[in-house]
Amino acid sequence: MKKTVLSGIRPTGDLHLGNYFGALKNFVKMQDEFNCYFFVADYHSLTTHPNPENLRKNTRRVLANYVAAGLDPKKCALYIQSDVQEVVELYLFLNMSAYLGELERSVTFKDKARQQPDNVNAGLLTYPVLQAADILIHKAHFVPVGKDQEQHLEMARTLANRFNHLYKVEYFAEPQAYNFGEQLVKIPGLDGSGKMGKSEGEANAIFLGEEPESIRKKVMKAVTDSGPTEPNQEKPEAIKNIFQLMSVVSKPDTLDFFENAYNTCQIRYGDMKKQLAEDMILFTAPFRERINDLLADEKGLDAIAAEGAEKARISARKTIDEVRGIIGF
């Protein structure tokens, strides 16, 4: 039996190169080896009260990005969370044994409460419970997660064990983090520090569906400095980042050329960024085209979502029926 892998992403619009190299590219490889569930966590995004048009638009964009990146609706269950309403029932059950104290200690809750002090709603508090429901409803063995999500996965294990204890059953197994290890390629942002991410500002990330002109503008604004003064000098953080970005989208020859220019103090960052921008445009072109095609064909995308929802609902329905029986309904 294949093990089950599950991952969700909030509907934030287009995914960026960091998402692609950090997770998506590996998800594509996992499709054959595992029983995969990949979904757009649109219920989760309600904690910030998005307007309906944006919610719908961004959900569809993420779905299109997933497909464009190579997730195959035939191989995995690719679905929109809100199409599988069984998850809400499990969320309710799990909420009965999620305690206020532990929910308040969640780092993401504390962060969000600070970011949106006027909207510290109960959905925000119980966000990890909904996430646990996402995972447990398909009895996922593995969840590929970044550092920031480890606490949520721990919560899923706690709630699984608590349910088992409460009802004296061995029903839920503990989901484990899935580490990509060496396959994980870190993608820095364009602002000279840290990793690529939308939360660091739109200009820090290059999106899979981004238009060439916008890519050019952003890359040309990437942080650099006045250049090396000694041969073979160690690269400062911001320069390392530009080289790292080039290493994932450009040809090895191109990278060698600029390495050499750096080491001999002849580098012109303007030229390097021009080249990087063109290579990023080439790299993202197939994604952009696929995304645009997928979004233009509304019925086609609906059909993809429906196919995924159907698969996910079979597994979710089974869990909910069993859980209801255990609880005494």
| Contact between 138 and 319 (Cβ < 8 Å) | yes
Q: Which has the closest alpha carbon to 147: 197, 219, 77, 86?
A: 197
Cα 237 to Cα 37: distance, rounded to the nearest angstrom = 37
Task: Give the residue with the Cβ less far from ligand TRP, 127 or 262.
Answer: 127
CB of 80 to ligand TRP, least distance (A): 12
Q: Pick the closer one to ligand TRP by CB: 78 or 239.
A: 78
Region near ligand TRP per CB under 6 A, out of 144-152, 161-169, 198-206, 267-275: 144-152
What is the C-alpha separation between 86 and 84, in angstroms, rounded? 5
Kindly state the smallest distance separating residue 260's Cβ from ligand TRP, in Å.
40
Out of 149, 164, 263, 275, name the contact with ligand TRP by CB under 6 A: 149
Q: Which stretch binds ligand TRP (CB under 6 A): 7-15, 111-119, 158-166, 182-190?
A: 7-15
What does DSSP assign to residue 286?
Answer: H
Our finding on whether 10 is near ligand TRP (CB under 6 A) is yes
**Of 198, 63, 43, residue with least CA distance to 127:** 43
**According to the 3-state scheme, what is the secondary structure of 99-115?**
CHHHHHCCHHHHHHHHH
Give min distance, CB of 263 to ligand TRP, in A: 39
Q: What are the Cα distances from residue 24, in Å, to 21, 30, 87, 172, 199? A: 6, 10, 24, 27, 19
**Of 2-10, 21-29, 219-227, 250-258, which part binds ligand TRP (CB under 6 A)?**
2-10
Shortest approach of ligand TRP to residue 143 CB, angstroms? 5
Mark the segment that binds ligand TRP (CB under 6 A) among 4-12, 19-27, 239-247, 271-279: 4-12
26 binds ligand TRP (CB under 6 A): no
Name the residue nearer to ligand TRP (CB basis): 133 or 242. 133
Could you tell me if 242 and 280 are in contact, meaning their C-beta atoms sit under 8 angstroms apart?
Answer: no
- Enter the tokens of residue 145: 């997660």
State the binding string over 265-294 for ligand TRP (x if CB under 6 A, else -): ------------------------------
Sheet with 77-80, edge to edge strand ranges: 77-80, 35-40, 4-9, 142-144, 176-178
Q: Is 134 in the site for ligand TRP (CB under 6 A)?
A: yes
Q: Does residue 8 interact with ligand TRP by CB under 6 A?
A: yes
Under DSSP, the state recorded for 73 is T
- 311 as an active site residue: the answer is no
Active site residue 112: yes
Shortest Cβ 128–ligand TRP spacing (Å) = 8
Q: Is 251 a catalytic residue?
A: no
Question: Cβ of residue 171: shortest distance to ligand TRP, in angstroms?
Answer: 19
Q: How far is CA 148 from CA 76, 94, 111, 145, in A?
A: 25, 22, 11, 8
The upper half-sphere exposure of residue 128, i.e. CA atoms within 13 Å in the direction of its Cβ, equals 28
Question: By CB under 6 A, what part of segment 72-131 binds ligand TRP?
Answer: 131
C-alpha dist (Å) from residue 132 to 137, 150, 183, 297: 8, 12, 26, 33
Please tell me which residue in 57, 198, 274, 318 is annotated as part of the active site: 198
In the list 23, 135, 245, 276, the residue contacting ligand TRP (rule: CB under 6 A) is 135
Question: Which residue of the chain is nearest ligand TRP when measured via CB?
Answer: 8
Q: Which residues contact 70 (CB under 8 A, 6 or more apart)?
A: 24, 25, 28
Residue 7 touches ligand TRP, criterion: CB under 6 A? yes
Catalytic residue among 25, 195, 274, 318: 195
Binding site for ligand TRP (CB under 6 A): 6-10, 41, 44, 131, 134-135, 143, 145, 149, 152
- Point out the residues that are catalytic: 112, 195, 198
